[in-house]
């Protein structure tokens, strides 16, 4: 996992398998089925790294031979919160790693003209203040959607929030860090810039459309 002094909240997951799969994901010729499988796999690999600092506690275990002390993740269940729609593609892969996780949902879409997020759904588990949240969205472009989703989670009481995406633009990282400097951002790639329509360059196109075969 790499850090950069320019973006102190950013963690780039540079694992070779993540980078290999991301290159296939970016390819315009990659069909929907493979795209979906890759988002799932990359999210799982990223989650393995992004959860490496979770708190653990000792737990007594009876092996078939004797009693020993193991360790288990402590505290309330992790909560995964995909931003609809494209974030949905990241849930299952992470859920396989953390099967006890809870899943909330934030519904947001980006207005085509203003590029600002429009809010349409919000549901997360209660006792939010006691949980670790992973907000999921493949794309961090202007950062409007991410900043709005974090604000909604905070209004619900969440205090420990991380944001996981596949591709991030510098503009989005800056906007999210300015609004929520406490939120760490994990990505597989820090891309160059946004184009005039707010798409990430080089990016991978419209993540929701490629994931669900809409256009």
Active-site amino acid positions: 110, 114, 206, 209
Residues 135-194 that bind ligand PRP (CB under 6 A): 137-146, 172
User: What does the DSSP 8-state code read for residue 127?
Assistant: -
- Taking the least distance from each CB to ligand URA, the nearer of 38 and 207 is 207
Dihedral sign, CA of 180, 110, 135, 27?
Answer: negative
Binding residue for ligand URA, selected from 203, 212, 214, 215, defined by CB under 6 A: 203
Question: By CB under 6 A, is residue 203 in contact with ligand PRP?
Answer: no
CB 215 → ligand URA: shortest distance, Å?
12
Question: By CB under 6 A, is residue 41 in contact with ligand URA?
Answer: no
User: What does the DSSP 8-state code read for residue 5?
Assistant: T
Question: By CB under 6 A, is residue 82 in contact with ligand PRP?
Answer: no
Rounded CA separation 2/119 (Å): 33
Per-residue contact flags (x/-) with ligand URA for residues 83 to 122, judged by CB under 6 A: ----------------------------------------
Question: By CB under 6 A, is residue 25 in contact with ligand URA?
Answer: no
Binding residue for ligand URA, selected from 124, 139, 146, 177, defined by CB under 6 A: 139
What is the number of H-type helices and E-type strands within the chain?
Answer: 6, 16
- Taking the least distance from each CB to ligand PRP, the nearer of 48 and 212 is 212
How many C-beta neighbours within 10 Å does residue 214 have? Answer: 10
Residues 6+ apart with CB under 8 A from 132: 54, 75, 76, 78, 79, 160, 162
Binding residue for ligand URA, selected from 154, 171, 206, 212, defined by CB under 6 A: 206
Closest by CA to 148, choosing from 191, 89, 188, 107, is 107
């Amino acid at each position: 996992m790499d850090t950069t002094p320019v973006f102190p909240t950013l963690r780039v997951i540079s694992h070779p398998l993540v980078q290999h799969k991301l290159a296939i994901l970016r390819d315009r010729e990659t069909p929907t089925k493979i795209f979906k499988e890759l988002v799932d796999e990359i999210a799982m690999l990223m989650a393995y790294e992004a959860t490496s600092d979770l708190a653990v506690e000792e737990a007594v275990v009876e092996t078939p031979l004797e009693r020993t002390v193991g360790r288990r993740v402590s505290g309330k269940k992790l909560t995964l919160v995909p931003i609809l729609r494209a974030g949905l593609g990241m849930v299952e892969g992470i859920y396989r790693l953390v099967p006890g996780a809870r899943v909330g949902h934030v519904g947001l879409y980006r207005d085509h003209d203003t590029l600002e997020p429009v809010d349409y759904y919000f549901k997360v588990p209660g006792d939010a203040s006691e949980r670790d949240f992973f907000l999921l969205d493949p794309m961090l472009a202007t950062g409007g959607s991410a900043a709005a989703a974090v604000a909604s989670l905070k209004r619900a009481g969440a205090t420990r929030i991380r944001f996981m995406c596949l591709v991030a633009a510098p503009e989005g990282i800056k906007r999210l860090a300015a609004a929520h400097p406490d939120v760490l951002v994990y990505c597989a790639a820090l891309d160059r810039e946004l184009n005039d329509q707010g798409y990430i360059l080089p990016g991978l196109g419209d993540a929701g459309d490629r994931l669900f075969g809409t256009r």
